[in-house]
Amino acid sequence: MNHFSITEIKERNSQSAQAIGFLIAGILAALVYGIVQLSVPAFLLVLVFAINLFLETREYKKSCQIELEAAKYNEDHLNS
């Protein structure tokens, strides 16, 4: 089990969700700019953002699983 409290895990998940939202917005903005300006660097930036989004989403899923396990562990010990 990790050494974080449930509130710390929830805060980290919230920050991760915000980062995912900003990455999606950045991808869309760079994609529109790349299409309008026919800019290769903008498309490369979209690729970098997409890779970062993939990695962040994967870690977010793991963190959500840890949060569920911590909540279940906490609930089991409160009921005991």
The answer to whether 47 and 66 have CB atoms below 8 angstroms apart is no
- Backbone φ and ψ of 47, nearest 5°: -65, -45
Which residue has tokens 């919230």? 14
| pLDDT score, position 25 | 96
Mean pLDDT of 8-32: 92
pTM for the full predicted model = 0.78
Q: What is the Cα–Cα distance from 60 to 76, expressed in whole angstroms? A: 24
Secondary structure (DSSP) of 6-55:
HHHHHHHHHHHHHHHHHHHHHHHHHHHHHHHHT-HHHHHHHHHHHHHHHH
Mean pLDDT of 7-18: 87
Q: What is the pLDDT of residues 24-70, one digit of tens each?
A: 999 999 999 999 999 999 999 999 999 999 999 999 999 888 888 88
| pLDDT score, position 2 | 54
| pLDDT score, position 1 | 47
